[in-house]
Structure 1
Amino acid sequence: MKPASFIYHRPTSLDEILGLLDEHGDEAKVLAGGQSLVAAMNFRLARPSMLIDANNIPELSGISVDGNHLVIGALTRHATFHKPVVNNPVGDLLSRVVQSIAHYPIRQRGTFGGSLCHADPASEWCLTSIVLDAEMLIESKAGKRRVSAKEFFKGTFTTAVKSNELLTQIRLPLGSPAFRGGFYEFSRRKGDFALAMSLVALELDGSRIRSARIGLGGVADKPIRLSSIEAGLIGQRADASTFEAVAAEASNLITPTSDIHGTSEYRKDLIKPVLVRALTEAAA
């Protein structure tokens, strides 16, 4: 199929794009990498009357370090993370996570911010943002506002970004030198949507867990942060028995969603192995 007709704009400045969004609101869609939007338009699941191409605005791309934060421009391509973007455990973790995002050609065009705004429950970057306590910078003609990842994701394909706003920047805490990250994703084939995945961040004091952040993706309408389980891990040994117990508790707490890719029961069975593998990788 082909998309319905639309008006195409290619602004050359952030002010111009914000002006178009302020004027046209719900009628417009912003084109970043286009790996999800264009497909939806071809099937006429999305029918914007106006397409605003953000790819000619360099200030929306790039990586920098600001104090103890990694600053990611919303238009930064997935492929940027194939190698660590910062010499830090967070940089290493991001370079591992990105290998599970779709296929190589898609990673050349798809963007970090576009993935967050699409808010697919099986998005690796959405889960990463939740677990690492990301902060989003959202801009409009009226000004700027910062939104935590916890407040950003509202549900499947739904975020806190309003029709006249644009996500421009993401800030990820770099963590302490004791930070250890782990990630594991299960899909039917390499590059398919994840049926379940887990990302964890641990800080260890010897063999004991000093702090823990644990998340699951692909099993609900948005990424899940297992805060209640995190608190119970403090002071526990970072070993197989602890991880098995944590994974069993998580599996009992969650009733996953069902869709054409997998039933709730099937996803529930996946929670334990993906969580154990992510925890084991973080502690290794």
Structure 2
Amino acid sequence: MYSFEIESPTSVADAVAALGKEEAQALGGGQTLIPSLKARLAAPSVLVSLKNIDEIKGVSINGDTVTIGGGTTHATVAAEVGSAYPALADLAVNIGDPAVRNRGTIGGSLANNDPSACYPAAALASGATIVTNTREIAADDYFEGMFTTALEEGEIVTAVKFPVPEAAAYIKFEQPASRFALVGVFVAKYADGVRVAVTGASEDGVFRWSEAESALSSNFGADALDGLSLSGDGMISDLHGSGDYRAHLIAVLTKRAVKAAA
């Protein structure tokens, strides 16, 4: 670690002002950023903690839309969205361990866009809308690659709006030490079609599997995926698994997610 200043504003306006300082960076729950600081992969001179901003915390359910404040912890999501969106609650309750779930936030996860994080798959498969202090961004336009998003400097994720699907499930194959997704697949069925999002696998970060979406939109059953596969090219290959292995897992987990959703 190295020395840096830390500020703890109590409003979004004050946080945006603090982020205007040179080399300032927002700090949510710190579950991605703090390890990055320790590894010297990030070197901000000012950390702007968002933990004291109550206006970006909480869950609201309005008809077929679940809105979650960007500063809401995984534990709160797990506890409060189950009645409206069970698959999303199930995803949240299986993130990390209790310490991670009680500190990590949905906004921090989406802002950092870790290639193995779970929430990006939920947001993309749900066709969610990421709300910031300045605008609203469709999930399809938000994720731009590994650790890269459409957020501009000084922009804060204040909320995420999830349209509730007719059926959904998230299945992940965990890396045992970190409990991050070696591969995770979120399947969501809506009246106008099925969306399938994959995390943990691609070198470009979270992505939609369009071939599976087309097949499942015609027949929402695991057998609709028979014969479909992905290439290992462009998939992450490391000590935990090769690109081909991850590609194989995507097909397996997608079938399991469809069965769980159905």
Work out which of the residue numbers 172, 180, 183 in structure 1 matches 2:162.
172
Q: What are the Cα deviations for residues 50-106 of structure 1, in whole angstroms up to 9, with x where unaligned?
A: 011111110011111244321111000000123342522x2x111211233111211
Q: CA deviation at 1:125?
A: 0.4
Which AA in structure 2 matches 1:158?
A: T
Larger Rg: 1
Work out which of the residue numbers 188, 192, 197 in structure 2 matches 1:201.
188
Equivalences, count: 261
Q: What are the Cα deviations for residues 13-56 of structure 1, in whole angstroms up to 9, with x where unaligned?
A: 211111122x325x011111011111221222211100111111
Task: Describe how 1:42-61 pairs up with structure 2 within 5 A.
Answer: 42-61=38-57
Take 1:97 and 1:171, find their aligned partners in 2: how far apart are those partners?
Answer: 16
Mapped pair 1:281 → 2:260: yes
Q: Secondary structure at the match of 1:64?
A: strand
Give the match for residue 242 of structure 1: 224
Take 1:153 and 1:234, find their aligned partners in 2: how far apart are those partners?
Answer: 23
Take 1:83 and 1:9, find their aligned partners in 2: how far apart are those partners?
Answer: 29
5+ residue gaps, structure 2: none
Task: Describe how 1:1-284 pairs up with structure 2 within 5 A.
Answer: 3-21=1-19, 23-24=20-21, 27-85=23-81, 87-88=83-84, 90=85, 92-139=86-133, 144-175=134-165, 179-189=166-176, 191-202=178-189, 211-220=193-202, 221-236=204-219, 238-243=220-225, 245=226, 248-252=227-231, 255-283=234-262
Q: CA deviation at 1:112?
A: 0.4
Take 2:178 and 2:120, find their aligned partners in 1: how far apart are those partners?
Answer: 17
What is the TM-score of this pair, normalised by structure 2? Answer: 0.91
Give the match for residue 207 of structure 1: none
Q: Contact 2:70–2:107 at 8 Å: present in 1 too?
A: yes
5+ residue gaps, structure 1: 205-209
Take 2:69 and 2:241, find their aligned partners in 1: how far apart are those partners?
Answer: 34
Q: Secondary structure at the match of 1:83?
A: helix
Superposition misfits of 4+ residues, deviation over 4 angstroms:
252-255
Q: Report sequence identity in percent.
A: 31
Q: Contact 1:198–1:214 at 8 Å: present in 2 too?
A: yes
